[in-house]
């Protein structure tokens, strides 16, 4: 288990806040043990929250040239045919994974290939389960082209709590299946768009693990 690099700033803020809180408790309320315990408990709680949120667990990656691997931890909340309007502009099979605050929030490439499209969209912060969050919220759009010519589009989508999307990708990059491509802070969702007829291995309500669960097959 490691601590992800995206969490260093948040951890520093919590540690500084905790030090100030404990100082106030001891300096202004020296005889009130309850104030001291409150400061200690709140500081420990906030530190644990940050550490668990930015955890980077050691995992044995599931890979396969014809497999589509989950790019994030979470629950499958959408499986439907829809029209993808930004890149493909045609009918696609959409699979959406909702990431709660307790999930690991590292995002990974679902397949290997070439990054043929990338775009960042500023936007709103609607709740991640709202249908319009896929098109109205702050988000990124990434398209990876597999060696067999199949392209898969996926989006990092911010939510009501998730106010920062991080990505490590640009057009022309070589994507490596299960390789880290980004991070979403404090919960949200990832949408994937597959060709119609793609064989899926998941159903709505399934809980998946990034880099380990197989969503479907090319």
Domain range summary for the chain, segments of one domain joined by +: 2-56, 67-217
Q: Does the pLDDT value for residue 130 go beyond 80?
A: no
| Confidence tier at 125 by pLDDT (50, 70, 90) | low
| Confidence tier at 1 by pLDDT (50, 70, 90) | confident
Per-residue tokens: 49 = 């929250």
For the chain, where are the alpha helices, taking DSSP H only? Answer: 8-28, 33-53, 133-136
Residue 124: which of 136, 135, 134 has the closest Cα? 136
Question: What is the structure's pLDDT at 161?
Answer: 59
- C-alpha count within 13 angstroms, C-beta hemisphere, residue 17: 14
Per-residue tokens: 121 = 């969209």
Which residues are paired to 194 by β-bridges? 93
Per-residue tokens: 17 = 């806040």
Q: Does the pLDDT value for residue 116 go beyond 60?
A: yes
What share of the chain has pLDDT > 70, as a percent? 90
67-217, CATH topology level: Glucose Permease (Domain IIA) (2.70.70)
Q: List Cβ neighbours of 165 (8 Å cut-off, separation of 6 or more).
A: 120, 138, 139, 140, 156, 158, 182, 183, 184, 185, 188
Is 18 among the residues known to form the active site?
no
Q: Does the pLDDT value for residue 159 go beyond 80?
A: no
89-93, 134-138, 160-164: which range is least confident on average?
160-164
- What is the rounded CA–CA span in Å between residue 68 and residue 114? 15
- What is the rounded CA–CA span in Å between residue 211 and residue 193? 18
Question: What is the structure's pLDDT at 153?
Answer: 97
- What is the rounded CA–CA span in Å between residue 198 and residue 214? 13
Per-residue tokens: 31 = 């005889």
Q: List Cβ neighbours of 79 (8 Å cut-off, separation of 6 or more).
A: 93, 94, 95, 96, 200, 202, 203, 204
For 74-168, where are the alpha helices, taking DSSP H only? Answer: 133-136
Q: Are 36 and 26 in contact (CB under 8 A)?
A: yes
| Confidence tier at 135 by pLDDT (50, 70, 90) | low
Q: Does the pLDDT value for residue 194 go beyond 80?
A: yes
Q: Are 97 and 78 in contact (CB under 8 A)?
A: no
Question: What is the structure's pLDDT at 127?
Answer: 57
Q: How many CB atoms lie within 10 A of CB 12?
A: 11
Catalytic choice (43, 188, 211, 213): 188
- What is the rounded CA–CA span in Å between residue 104 and residue 214? 17
- What is the rounded CA–CA span in Å between residue 149 and residue 147? 5
């Amino acid at each position: 288990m490691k601590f992800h690099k995206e969490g260093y700033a948040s951890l520093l803020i919590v540690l500084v806040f905790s030090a100030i809180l404990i100082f106030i408790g001891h300096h202004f309320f020296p005889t009130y043990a309850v104030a001291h315990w409150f400061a200690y408990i709140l500081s420990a709680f906030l530190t644990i929250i940050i550490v668990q949120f930015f955890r980077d667990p050691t995992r044995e990656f599931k890979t396969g040239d014809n497999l589509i691997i989950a790019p994030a931890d979470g629950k499958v909340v959408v499986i439907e045919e829809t029209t993808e309007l930004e890149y493909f502009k045609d009918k696609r099979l959409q699979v959406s994974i909702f990431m709660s605050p307790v999930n690991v929030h590292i995002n990974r490439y679902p397949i290997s290939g070439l990054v043929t499209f990338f775009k960042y969209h500023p936007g709103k912060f609607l709740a991640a389960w709202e249908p319009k969050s896929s098109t109205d919220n702050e988000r990124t759009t990434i398209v990876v082209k597999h060696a067999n010519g199949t392209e898969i589009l996926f989006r990092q989508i911010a939510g009501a709590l998730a106010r920062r999307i991080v990505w490590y990708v640009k057009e022309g990059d070589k994507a490596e299946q299960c390789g880290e491509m980004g991070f979403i802070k404090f919960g949200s969702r990832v949408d994937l768009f597959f060709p119609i007829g793609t064989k899926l291995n998941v159903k709505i309500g399934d809980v998946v693990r990034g880099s380990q669960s197989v969503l479907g097959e090319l």
